Amino acid sequence: MSPTELVIVALAGVLAGAINALVGSGTLITFPTLVAFGVAPVSATMSNAIGLVAGGFSSAWGYRRELRGQWGRLRWQIPASLGGALVGCWLLLHLPETVFGAVVPVLLVLALLLVVFQPRINAWVRARSSDEAAQAGGEGHLGRGRLLLLVVGTFLVGIYGGYFTAAQGILLMGLTGALLHDDLQRLNAAKNVLTLVVNIVAALTYTIVAPDRIHWDVVVVIAIGSTIGGWLGARYGRRLKPGPLRAVIVVVGLIGLVRLLMS
pLDDT in tens, 208-249: 988 998 999 999 999 999 999 988 887 776 666 666 656 766
Question: How many percent of the chain have pLDDT more than 70?
Answer: 78
* Secondary element (H or E) of residue 213: none
pTM over 0.85: no
How much is the pLDDT for 131? 47
Q: Are 165 and 100 in contact (CB under 8 A)?
A: no
pLDDT higher at 168 or 226: 226
Q: Which residues contact 96 (CB under 8 A, 6 or more apart)?
A: none
How much is the pLDDT for 65? 86
Cα pseudo-dihedral 176, 179, 182, 183, rounded to 10: 40
Q: Confidence band (pLDDT; 50, 70, 90) for 115? A: low
Residue 122, pLDDT above cutoff 50: yes
- 13-60, pLDDT tens digit by residue? 998 888 878 766 778 788 888 988 988 888 988 899 899 998 888 888
**Range name among 14-28, 106-120, 169-183, 235-249 with the lowest pLDDT average:** 235-249
Q: Confidence band (pLDDT; 50, 70, 90) for 126? A: low
Average pLDDT of the residues in 186-196: 88
Residue 144, CB half-sphere, CA atoms under 13 Å: how many?
A: 0
Q: Are 34 and 214 in contact (CB under 8 A)?
A: no
Q: Which domain, by its residues, includes 111?
A: 3-262
Q: Are 170 and 115 in contact (CB under 8 A)?
A: yes
Domain count, the chain: 1
pLDDT higher at 147 or 143: 147
Find the DSSP H helices in 66-215.
Answer: 71-94, 97-116, 118-128, 131-136, 144-163, 168-179, 184-209
CA-atom Rg of the chain in angstroms:
17
Give the separation between CA 62 and CA 191, rounded to whole angstroms. 13
